[in-house]
C-alpha cells in the first residue's frame, strides 16, 4: 500500500542553467547527465509523491568548479539569491540549504554564511565531503564550524568526488561506490577529530542514509579506541569506543537513494529513529529513485517511526506551516516598516519634526542609507531646537526656519 503521508524532502536539488553552463566541458569521470529542472517540475514531483515541502540544495560537484575564487563566490551568490526568491514565491513548499564557496576560501565562506542567515533566512547550508584534500573535521575549517554553530545551523553534508580514490576505471564512476565511502570518511573525521563535539549546536545531515557509516560504525568505534587509540589525543576527541559510537549516531541520516530493504533494516536497527529523514534526490535519482521510493513505501515500518522520518526537519520549531507563517510575518513587518518610513519622510517634507524620531525608533530600516538620512536630520533638528530655546519667538518654527537658525 502506498504511503500517502505528507513528507518533508530534505534532499531535493535544483539545477539552474547557469550552473549547467559552468559544468559543460568539465570531465567529472562519472559521465553524469545533468537533468533538466524547473520550479514547475519540482512542484509536480512533490504533488505526485505527497511531499509538502522540499529543502532545495546544490548538488555535486558544487560551486568550486567555477574556477577562481571570484567566480566561485559570484556563482554561489547568484544561486543563493535565486533559491531565496523561489522560496519567497512558494513559502510553504520550499526551503533551501545555502551554497557556500569552498571552505579553503575561509574569507568567502564566512562572509556568505553571515549573508545567507542574516539576509536570506536560509534553512541551513550544504557542505561537501572534502575541500582541497581535507575532510570536514580539518583544523583549518574550525572557524567555519564556529560560525555555523553560532547560527545553530542545519548542515547538509553531500558527497563529492574523492581526492583519496582517483578515477581508475569507466565501470566504477565515483557516485556508484566512492560517494558512500566519502560520506563515511568525512563523518568519521568530524567525530574522531572532536569537531562534532566541539560544535554541538550544528545539526548535521548525512546524505544517502549515511553512506557506508552504519555498516562500518562498530569497526570505527572499537578500532579507533583500541588499536588506533593514539588518534584520540586532542581535547575535543571522544574517549573510548562508547563515546565514538555516540558521536557517529549523533548525525541525521536522509533516505535519498537509501530506500532498499537492506539499508533500511540496518539504519532503523542502528540509528535513533528521530534522526532518520526523508529525501528524494530529485531530479538526479530518476528511475532509480522511483525504485527506491517503491521499496520505501512498501517497507514494513512502525507507523510512528514512518511518520517521524517522513515529516522531520531538524530545525527548532520548523514545520512547513511555520515556515509559511514566518515568511508571511516577515513580509508584513517589511510592509509596516516601509509604511512607517514613508510616513516619517512625508512629515519631514512638511517640516513637522515633532515625534518623527519616535515614529521611527522601532523601524527596521530597509537600507543603511535611509537610516543615515534619518539620523542626520535628527542631529540637525536637535541643533535647531537648541537654537529655538535661545529664541522663544521661534518656538513654532517651520523646518526652513530651523535650518536657517542652524546657520546663525
Q: What is the pLDDT of residue 357?
A: 40
- CB 255 within 8 Å of CB 4: no
Axis crossing angle, helix 213-225 with helix 174-192, rounded to the nearest 10: 40
| Beta-ladder partners of 57 | 13
Q: Running DSSP on this structure, what letter comes out for residue 58? A: P
Reported as half-sphere exposure (CB side, CA atoms, 13 A), residue 210 has a value of 26
Which residue from 217, 165, 159 is spatially nearest to 191, judged by alpha carbons?
A: 217
- CB 284 within 8 Å of CB 262: no
Helix (H, G, I), strand (E, B) or coil at 47: helix
Measured CA to CA in angstroms, residue 78 lies from 44, 56, 101 at distances of 25, 15, 12
Q: What is the pLDDT of residue 327?
A: 57
Cell of 155: 548542515
Residues 6+ apart with CB under 8 A from 97: 55, 56, 57, 58, 122, 123, 124, 125, 126, 154, 156
Q: Which pTM does this prediction carry?
A: 0.75
Q: What is the pLDDT of residue 356?
A: 40
Which residue from 91, 164, 120 is spatially nearest to 318, judged by alpha carbons?
A: 91
- CB 297 within 8 Å of CB 2: yes
Q: What is the pLDDT of residue 4?
A: 60
Backbone angles phi, psi at 32, to 5 degrees: -80, 130
Q: What is the pLDDT of residue 179?
A: 83
Q: Running DSSP on this structure, what letter comes out for residue 231? A: G
Q: What is the pLDDT of residue 405?
A: 34
Q: What is the pLDDT of residue 229?
A: 74
- The CB-based long-range contact list for 165-170 (8 Å cut-off, 24+ gap) reads 167/29, 170/31
Q: What is the pLDDT of residue 320?
A: 54
> Going by DSSP bridges, is the β-strand pair 154-158/124-128 parallel, antiparallel, or unpaired?
parallel
pLDDT values of the chain reduced to their tens digit, one per residue, 408 residues: 455 667 899 999 999 888 887 776 665 544 567 788 999 999 999 999 889 999 999 988 888 887 889 999 999 999 999 999 999 999 999 999 999 999 999 999 999 999 999 999 999 999 999 999 999 999 999 999 999 999 999 999 999 876 666 666 667 767 777 888 999 999 999 999 999 999 999 999 999 999 999 999 999 999 988 887 777 777 777 788 889 899 999 999 999 988 778 889 999 999 999 999 999 999 887 766 677 677 677 677 777 777 767 777 777 555 555 555 655 665 666 667 667 666 655 655 554 434 444 444 444 433 344 444 445 444 444 444 444 444 333 333 332 333 233 233
- The CB-based long-range contact list for 45-49 (8 Å cut-off, 24+ gap) reads 45/280, 45/282, 45/283, 46/9, 46/93, 49/7, 49/280, 49/293
Amino acid at each position: 500500500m502506498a504511503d500517502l503521508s505528507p513528507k518533508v524532502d530534505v534532499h531535493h536539488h535544483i539545477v539552474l542553467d547557469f550552473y549547467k553552463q559552468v559544468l559543460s566541458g568539465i570531465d567529472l569521470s562519472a559521465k553524469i547527465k545533468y537533468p533538466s529542472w524547473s520550479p514547475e517540475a519540482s512542484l509536480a514531483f512533490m504533488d505526485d509523491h505527497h511531499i509538502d515541502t522540499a529543502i532545495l540544495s546544490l548538488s555535486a560537484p558544487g560551486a568550486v568548479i567555477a574556477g577562481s575564487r571570484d567566480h566561485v563566490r559570484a556563482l554561489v551568490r547568484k544561486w543563493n539569491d535565486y533559491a531565496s526568491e523561489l522560496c519567497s514565491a512558494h513559502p510553504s513548499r520550499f526551503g533551501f540549504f545555502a551554497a557556500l564557496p569552498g571552505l579553503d576560501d575561509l574569507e568567502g565562506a564566512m562572509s556568505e554564511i553571515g549573508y545567507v542567515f542574516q539576509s536570506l533566512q536560509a534553512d541551513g547550508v550544504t557542505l561537501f565531503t572534502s575541500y582541497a584534500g581535507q575532510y570536514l573535521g580539518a583544523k583549518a575549517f574550525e572557524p567555519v564550524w564556529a560560525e555555523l554553530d553560532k547560527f545553530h545551523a542545519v548542515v547538509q553534508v553531500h558527497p563529492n568526488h574523492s581526492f583519496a580514490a582517483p578515477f581508475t576505471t569507466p565501470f566504477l564512476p565515483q557516485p556508484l561506490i566512492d560517494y558512500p565511502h566519502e560520506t563515511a570518511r568525512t563523518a568519521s573525521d568530524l567525530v574522531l577529530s572532536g569537531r562534532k563535539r566541539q560544535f554541538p549546536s550544528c545539526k548535521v545531515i548525512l546524505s544517502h542514509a549515511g553512506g557506508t557509516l552504519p555498516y562500518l560504525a562498530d569497526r570505527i568505534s572499537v578500532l579507533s579506541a583500541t588499536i588506533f587509540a593514539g588518534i584520540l589525543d586532542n581535547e575535543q576527541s571522544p574517549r573510548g569506543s562508547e563515546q565514538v559510537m555516540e558521536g557517529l549516531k549523533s548525525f541525521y541520516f536522509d533516505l535519498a537513494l537509501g530506500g532498499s530493504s537492506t539499508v533500511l533494516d540496518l539504519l532503523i536497527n542502528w540509528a535513533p529513529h528521530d534522526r532518520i529523514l526523508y529525501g528524494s534526490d530529485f531530479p538526479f535519482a530518476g528511475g532509480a529513485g522511483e525504485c527506491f521510493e517503491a521499496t520505501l513505501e512498501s517497507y514494513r515500518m512502525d507507523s510512528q517511526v514512518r511518520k517521524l522520518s517522513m515529516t522531520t526537519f531538524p530545525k527548532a520549531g520548523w514545520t512547513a506551516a511555520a515556515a509559511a507563517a514566518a515568511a508571511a510575518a516577515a513580509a508584513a513587518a517589511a510592509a509596516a516598516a516601509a509604511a512607517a518610513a514613508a510616513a516619517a519622510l512625508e512629515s519631514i517634507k512638511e517640516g513637522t519634526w515633532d515625534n518623527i524620531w519616535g515614529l521611527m525608533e522601532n523601524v527596521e530600516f530597509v537600507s543603511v542609507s535611509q537610516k543615515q538620512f534619518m539620523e542626520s536630520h535628527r542631529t540637525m533638528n536637535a541643533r535647531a531646537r537648541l537654537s529655538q530655546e535661545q529664541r522663544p519667538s521661534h518656538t513654532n518654527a517651520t523646518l526652513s526656519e530651523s535650518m536657517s537658525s542652524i546657520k546663525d
